[in-house]
C-alpha cells in the first residue's frame, strides 16, 4: 500500500528526528568498516595495512559523488523550506542525472588506473596486491554506490531519515555474510580473500540500489518526476554544480590531505600503517555523533534559511554544537580508559599497542575539537555559505595538517604521534575560524533558493584548485623521509 503524502512543515521537523536515524546509519556504516578490519585482521595483518591506504581512495571516490548529492540536498532543503516542492523535485532528478554521467566516467577510470596508482607507493608486495584487488573491484563498480548516495540524499532531504537507516542494516548484514564466506570459506564456499570482500561490498550496493528505488516510489510525498528527465532546465544542473563543487571542496581537500599524510605513513612501515588503520576504525565511533549532528544540522539549517528564519537557525546551531562537543569528550575519555581491551581486539602485537596508546593521548584533545568542523561547517553549507569553508580548509589542512605532519612526524622523527599532533592543531584552528564565521552572520545573505545562474567563476576556480591538489596528492611519495 503506498505511503500517503505528508504536508508537514519541514521547519518544524525536530532535529532528533533527523539526527537519530543518521547516527544509527553512521554507526552501522562504521560497524561495517570495523567488521571488515576485524575479519581482515584474522585473515592477514597485511590486508589491514592495505585497507588503511585503500580506504583513503575509497572515501575520495565517495566525495566525488557527494559533490552532486550534497549540492542537490542543500537546494532541495532550502526549496522545501520556501514551499517550492516542484522545484525541489526537479533538483532531485537533475542530481541523479549528473551522478549517472559522473559515476560511469569515474568507475571506468578507477578500473583502468587502479594498478598504476597503487604502484606509485613503496609497499610490501603482498600489501600492494591486496590494495590493487580491492580498489579495482570496488572502484570499478562504484556507480552503484553513486546512485545509492544520490537516492539516500533525496530521501533524507525530504525528511525521511529513517529509510536510509534501515537500508544500511540490510547492507551491513549482506556485507558481513559475504565477507565471512569469502575470507573463511564457510559452507564450502571458495576462499576469495580481499577480492571477495570487495565483491561482497559491490553486491550489497547493487541490492541497496534497487531498495532505494522502490522506497522512493512508495513515498508519495517525495516529488521526483523522473519522466521529466529529458526536460530538466539547464539552469537546474548549473545550480546543483554551483553549490556542489564548492560544498564538497572542503571535504575533498580534507580527504586529499589525508592521502598525502598516508603517503608519509606508508614510509614508516607496515606496523605504523596497521596502527593507523586500527585507530581510524576505533575513533570513528567517537566522532560519529558529531558527524551525525552535523548532517542533521545541514538539513535543518537549509529548511530554516529557506523559510527566512535566520535567528532561529543561529540559536539552534550553538545548541547542537554544545551537545556534539560534550558527547565526543565523554566518548574519547572512555576509549582511553578502556584502550587496552579495545586495541587487543584488533592486534596482539606489542609495537602496535604502544603506538596506538601514544596516539590516543593526543586524540583526547583532537576529537572534541573536531566538532567545530563537523557541525559549524555543515551549518554554513546548509545556509548557502559554501565557499568560505573551502578557502579556509585548503589553507589549514595543507599548511598545518600536511606540512605539520611532515615536520613533526617525518623531519623531527615523532612518527605517527607527530602526525596526530599536526592534525589536532588543524582541527582546532580551522574550527575556531568556522565558529567566528557563524557568529559574524555573513551566511545570512547566502540563501540559494533563487540560484539558477551559470556556474560562478569562484566555483570553477575552486574546482581547478582541488583537481590540481588531487594530482599532487595522488602522485605518491616524493621523498625518502
Collapsed DSSP state (helix, strand, coil) of residue 219: strand
Collapsed DSSP state (helix, strand, coil) of residue 387: coil
- pLDDT score at 430: 95
- pLDDT score at 363: 93
Is the pLDDT reported for residue 405 higher than 60?
yes
- pLDDT score at 449: 67
pLDDT in tens, 148-164: 888 888 888 887 878 88
- Span 226-243, mean pLDDT? 79
Collapsed DSSP state (helix, strand, coil) of residue 1: coil
Higher pLDDT, 437 or 390: 437
What's the gap between Cα 407 and its chain centre?
27
| Cα distance from N-terminal residue to C-terminal residue, the chain | 63
With CA atoms as reference, report the closest residue to 225 among 87, 338, 350.
87
The three grid cell numbers given for residue 117, joined into one nine-digit string: 596508482
Number of CB atoms found within 10 A of residue 42's CB: 12
Q: Residues of the chain with pLDDT > 90: what percent?
A: 24
Is the pLDDT reported for residue 402 higher than 70?
yes
Backbone phi, psi, residue 219, to 5°? -80, 90
Q: Is the dihedral angle over the CA atoms 164, 167, 173, 179 positive or is it negative?
A: negative
Which whole-number Å values give the CA distances from 231 to 235, 236, 343, in the listed order? 11, 11, 55
Is residue 125 classed exposed, middle or buried when 0-12, 13-18 and 19+ CB atoms within 10 A define those classes? exposed
Reported as a pLDDT band with limits 50, 70 and 90, residue 321 is very high
CA distance 399 to 269: 25
- Span 169-189, mean pLDDT? 84
Q: What helix, strand, coil percent values describe the chain, rounded to 5? A: 85, 0, 15
The crossing angle, in degrees rounded to 10, of helices 270-306 and 339-346 is: 110
CA distance 370 to 376: 10
Which range has the worst mean pLDDT, 29-33, 295-299, 319-323, 394-398?
29-33
With contact defined as beta carbons under 8 Å apart, do 215 and 158 qualify?
Answer: no
Reported as a pLDDT band with limits 50, 70 and 90, residue 32 is low
- pLDDT score at 8: 64
Collapsed DSSP state (helix, strand, coil) of residue 221: coil
Higher pLDDT, 211 or 219: 211
Is the pLDDT reported for residue 216 higher than 50?
yes
What's the gap between Cα 361 and its chain centre?
25
With contact defined as beta carbons under 8 Å apart, do 375 and 290 qualify?
Answer: yes
What is the 3-state secondary structure of 179-208?
Answer: HHHHHHCHHHCCCCHHHHHHHHHHHHHHHH
pTM: 0.71
pLDDT in tens, 71-130: 788 888 888 887 888 888 888 888 888 888 888 998 999 889 888 888 887 778 888 888
- pLDDT score at 314: 92
With CA atoms as reference, report the closest residue to 374 among 439, 280, 438, 291.
291
With contact defined as beta carbons under 8 Å apart, do 418 and 356 qualify?
Answer: no
Q: Is the dihedral angle over the CA atoms 178, 180, 184, 189 positive or is it negative?
A: negative
Is the pLDDT reported for residue 475 higher than 70?
no
The crossing angle, in degrees rounded to 10, of helices 15-43 and 45-81 is: 170
With contact defined as beta carbons under 8 Å apart, do 68 and 241 qualify?
Answer: yes
Reported as a pLDDT band with limits 50, 70 and 90, residue 437 is very high
CA distance 107 to 275: 30
Per the prediction, the chain carries an average pLDDT of 82
Amino acid at each position: 500500500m503506498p505511503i500517503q503524502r505528508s504536508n508537514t512543515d519541514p521547519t518544524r521537523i525536530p532535529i532528533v528526528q533527523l539526527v537519530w536515524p543518521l547516527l544509527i546509519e553512521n554507526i552501522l556504516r562504521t560497524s561495517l568498516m570495523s567488521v571488515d578490519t576485524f575479519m581482515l585482521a584474522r585473515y592477514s595483518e597485511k590486508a589491514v595495512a592495505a585497507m588503511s591506504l585503500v580506504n583513503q581512495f575509497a572515501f575520495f571516490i565517495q566525495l566525488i559523488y557527494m559533490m552532486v548529492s550534497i549540492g542537490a540536498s542543500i537546494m532541495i532543503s532550502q526549496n522545501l523550506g520556501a514551499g517550492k516542492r516542484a522545484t525541489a523535485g526537479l533538483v532531485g532528478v537533475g542530481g541523479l542525472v549528473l551522478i549517472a554521467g559522473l559515476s560511469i566516467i569515474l568507475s571506468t577510470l578507477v578500473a583502468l588506473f587502479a594498478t598504476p596508482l597503487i604502484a606509485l607507493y613503496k609497499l610490501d608486495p603482498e600489501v600492494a596486491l591486496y590494495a590493487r584487488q580491492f580498489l579495482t573491484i570496488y572502484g570499478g563498480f562504484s556507480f552503484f554506490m553513486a546512485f545509492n548516495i544520490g537516492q539516500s540524499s533525496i530521501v533524507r532531504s525530504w525528511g525521511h531519515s529513517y529509510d536510509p537507516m534501515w537500508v544500511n542494516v540490510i547492507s551491513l548484514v549482506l556485507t558481513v555474510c559475504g565477507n565471512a564466506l569469502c575470507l573463511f570459506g564457510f559452507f564450502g564456499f571458495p576462499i576469495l580473500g580481499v577480492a571477495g570482500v570487495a565483491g561482497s561490498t559491490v553486491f550489497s550496493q547493487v541490492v541497496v540500489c534497487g531498495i532505494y528505488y522502490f522506497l522512493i516510489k512508495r513515498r508519495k510525498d517525495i516529488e521526483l518526476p523522473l519522466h521529466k528527465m529529458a526536460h530538466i532546465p539547464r539552469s537546474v544542473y548549473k545550480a546543483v554544480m554551483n553549490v556542489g563543487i564548492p560544498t564538497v571542496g572542503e571535504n575533498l581537500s580534507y580527504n586529499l590531505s589525508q592521502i598525502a599524510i598516508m603517503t608519509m605513513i606508508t614510509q614508516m612501515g607496515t606496523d605504523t600503517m596497521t596502527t593507523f588503520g586500527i585507530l581510524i576504525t576505533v575513533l570513528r565511533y567517537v566522532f560519529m555523533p558529531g558527524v551525525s549532528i552535523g548532517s542533521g544540522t545541514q538539513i535543518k539549517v537549509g529548511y530554516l534559511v529557506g523559510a527566512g528564519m535566520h535567528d532561529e537557525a543561529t540559536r539552534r546551531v550553538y545548541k547542537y554544537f554544545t551537545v556534539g562537543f560534550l558527547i565526543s569528550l565523554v566518548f574519547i575519555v572512555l576509549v582511553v580508559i578502556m584502550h587496552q581491551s579495545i586495541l587487543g581486539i584488533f592486534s596482539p602485537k606489542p609495537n602496535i599497542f604502544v603506538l596506538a596508546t601514544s596516539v590516543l593521548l593526543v586524540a583526547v584533545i583532537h576529537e572534541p575539537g573536531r566538532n567545530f568542523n563537523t557541525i559549524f561547517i555543515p551549518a554554513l553549507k546548509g545556509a548557502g555559505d559554501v565557499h568560505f569553508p573551502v578557502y579556509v580548509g585548503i589553507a589549514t589542512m595543507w599548511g598545518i595538517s600536511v606540512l605539520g605532519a611532515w615536520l613533526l612526524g617525518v623531519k623531527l622523527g615523532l612518527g605517527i604521534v607527530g602526525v596526530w599532533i599536526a592534525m589536532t592543531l588543524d582541527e582546532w584552528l580551522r574550527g575556531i575560524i568556522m565558529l567566528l564565521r557563524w557568529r559574524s552572520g555573513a551566511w545570512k545573505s547566502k540563501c540559494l533558493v533563487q540560484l539558477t545562474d551559470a556556474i560562478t567563476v569562484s566555483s570553477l576556480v575552486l574546482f581547478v584548485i582541488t583537481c590540481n591538489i588531487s594530482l599532487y596528492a595522488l602522485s605518491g611519495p616524493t621523498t625518502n623521509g
